[in-house]
């Protein structure tokens, strides 16, 4: 594989040392590890190699692999979620949480000023929140397999739509002609404007397409 290739991958991500699974695409393994979630769609994930779709360390490991190859990769902290930063541990007045109707129980996750964090403690009306990523400062290990490569432009567009929206092929129809992609979203599904912007930027960067037309289809 090389930068810009569109591929499907299966993977299991674990914390190095503890073996704790934090992310995976394989249903059988999820059930075996007792972390199965019926609301999750377990299936190979479409990515663009070198496109920052996955962690840097995993992206680099995909280079040179072929379809069908499997590999176990150790990801150092600096190529995973980075070091823990003490300045991301902050004291926030209880009044901020009350304004947003948030009950900051220790251990719960909250969003303050568009930042996600975990409540560490509560003392004297001030709440200590850790805004570091939960996996910051940890080495990771991935078992990864390249399941297939995507060659057709229409399939590449579909892969990007699926990656950013989790919509399946029964919900979306893609047509590509003369550097224009038409994305027909069926079954009354909605797509946020931010998602459309991200999809447009990604498609025009990695595929030879200059214009995108979003079509919404409704019917009985």
Neighbouring residues of 210: CB distance < 8 A, sequence distance ≥ 6: 179, 180, 204
Phi-psi region of 107 (alpha: psi -120 to 50; beta: other; left: phi over 0): left
Residues 4 and 73 in one domain: yes
Instruction: State the angle between helix axes of 193-206 and 153-165 in degrees (0 to 180), rounded to the nearest 10.
Output: 150
Please say which residue of 130, 165, 189 terminates a domain: 130
| Domain residue limits at 33 | 1-83+135-150
Regarding whether 119 and 161 lie in a shared domain, the answer is no
Q: Are residues 125 and 145 in the same domain?
A: no
CATH number of residue 94's parent domain: 2.40.10.330
Residues 36 and 109 both lie in one domain? no
6 & 63 share domain: yes
Q: How many domains does the chain have?
A: 3
DSSP β-bridge partners for residue 45: 9
Which pLDDT does position 114 carry in this prediction?
Answer: 86
Claim to verify: residue 38 and residue 91 sit in the same structural domain: no
| Confidence (pTM) | 0.87
Q: Can you give the pLDDT at residue 90?
A: 94
Q: Are 150 and 98 in contact (CB under 8 A)?
A: no
Task: Determine the straight-line distance between the first and last CA of the chain, rounded to whole angstroms.
Answer: 44
Using pLDDT thresholds of 50, 70 and 90, give the confidence band for residue 45: very high
pLDDT in tens, 154-210: 999 999 999 999 888 888 999 999 999 999 998 777 888 899 999 999 999 999 999
Please say whether the beta carbons of 73 and 141 come within 8 A.
yes
| Residues 17 and 75 both lie in one domain | yes
């Amino acid at each position: 594989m090389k930068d810009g290739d569109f591929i499907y991958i299966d993977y299991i991500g674990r914390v190095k040392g503890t073996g704790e699974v934090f992310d995976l695409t394989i249903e059988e393994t999820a059930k075996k590890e007792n972390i199965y979630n019926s609301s999750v769609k377990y299936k190979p994930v479409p990515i663009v190699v070198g496109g920052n779709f996955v962690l840097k360390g995993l992206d680099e490991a995909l280079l040179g692999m072929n379809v069908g190859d499997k590999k176990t990769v150790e990801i150092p902290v600096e190529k995973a979620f980075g070091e823990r930063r003490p300045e991301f541990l902050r004291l926030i007045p209880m009044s901020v949480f009350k304004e947003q109707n948030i009950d900051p129980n220790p251990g719960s996750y909250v969003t303050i000023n568009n930042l996600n964090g975990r409540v560490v403690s509560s003392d004297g009306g001030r709440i200590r929140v850790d805004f570091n990523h939960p996996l910051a400062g940890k080495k990771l290990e991935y078992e990864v397999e390249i399941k297939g490569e995507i060659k057709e432009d229409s399939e590449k567009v579909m892969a990007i739509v699926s990656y950013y929206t989790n919509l399946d092929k029964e919900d979306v129809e893609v047509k590509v002609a003369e550097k224009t992609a038409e994305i027909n979203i069926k079954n009354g599904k909605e797509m946020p404007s931010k998602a459309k912007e991200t999809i447009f930027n990604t498609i025009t960067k990695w595929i030879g397409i200059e214009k995108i037309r979003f079509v919404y289809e409704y019917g009985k």
